[in-house]
Chains A and B, each alone.
Chain A
Amino acid sequence: MADVTPRPPAPSSGQASSTLGRSMSIKGELSAKEDLVIEGQFEGTIDVAENTVTVGPQGQVKSEIRARQVIVHGSVNGKISAREKIDIRRTGNVTGDLQAAGVAIEDGAYFKGSIEILREGRAESAQARPAVSQRAS
């Protein structure tokens, strides 16, 4: 029978990447200048601003993530900021606020939180919203 276990895609940038293996559990601050694949557990902050973070199907992250691109197959609890795109796949489970130039969530994924799209390089601030006037229906 074919192995249908979902697997995270290889980091797309072609750059070097590091993998936090399934049996690994780490707390702390992580910063890197290469792509990162998380198959284990991580708690803290992740800053790979110019690279891609991929949370594998078994990965569990309780963390704020800052990256160029974030792909989630596993579980993330925390704020995610991506300069380019956040991609939550069908098996993904995310609770937190997302901020990115683009966000895609596949049908079947779990997501609770808010999404703010960065437009022209910056998120629109809440203060920029005009007050809503009440109207008769």
Chain B
Amino acid sequence: MQARPGRSDTGIGSQNAPASSFGLRWLWEYAQDIPRPYVLDCGPIRSATLNVLLGRSGRLYRGDLISPLKRPELWDRTRKTPVFRTELLLAELPSVAPSSLSIVFCWQLLDLLPREALADVLLQIHKLMETGAVLFCLLREPRLETGADCLWQLDGLTGLTRTHDGMAAFPYPALSNREIDRLLPTGSVKTFLTRSGWREVLVVK
């Protein structure tokens, strides 16, 4: 697998300023031959995103893996060192047939996951994707220290907006493309840099 940084450099829109996303443009161009793709949205519910995806997808699956990360019960604190209960988080995924999804939006999920859960979560999502399917992620650059609590939404197929910049510090070190690449059994990673400190990372299975 290869990490391929894209040449594009666009800002990602902050509140009230949707920006055209190079990553999303690439995604929808790539998926243009799939009339009604099966899509999974793993982020908090945003009605704007829902409207966009419902217009394009044949079936839209939803299961929020980001909001539950704030729940204390996701940590087993009976042990000396708290253990993240990945199985409880994965229970938030809807019932999806393996190898059936064409597109998955996981937004900034990977930046917020405890590192010990990354491999299991990525593998589970990977299993649900058909060959050629695309996983769309937003990963922060190491220089971006706050923004863990920001919310993303689609404003049109290629319009990407942060509803606010977010003040919360990121809980874990920034992920490199190589780390993502290493965690996946098959696929390739495509990256679009932006001026906002976020990378649009697309993993093609």
Contacts and interface: CB of A to CB of B under 8 A. Distances in A.
Interface string A116-137: 1100000010101110111111
Interface residues of B, number: 36
Given A135-B204, A137-B188, A111 B34 contact: no
B122 to A, nearest CB: 17
Given A104-B47, A105-B47, A134-B131, A115 B58 contact: no
A115 B59 contact: yes
Nearest to B26: A137
B47 A114 contact: no
Given A115-B59, A117-B54, A106 B132 contact: no
B65 to A, nearest CB: 10
Given A112-B63, A114-B62, A135 B132 contact: yes
A111 B132 CA distance: 27
B46 A107 contact: yes
B133 interface: yes
Interface of B is mostly: mixed
A108 interface: yes
Contacts, number: 83
B34 A114 contact: no
A104 B59 CA distance: 15
Interface string A28-41: 00000000000000
Interface in B50-71: 50, 54, 58-64
A109 B45 contact: yes
Contact of B62 (A106, A115, A135): A115
A105 B64 CA distance: 13
Contact of B61 (A106, A114, A124, A128): A114
A116 B38 CA distance: 10
Interface of A: 103-117, 124, 126, 128-130, 132-137
14 contacts: A103-B50, A104-B50, A106-B47, A111-B45, A111-B62, A112-B62, A113-B61, A113-B94, A113-B95, A116-B58, A126-B58, A129-B36, A132-B130, A135-B132
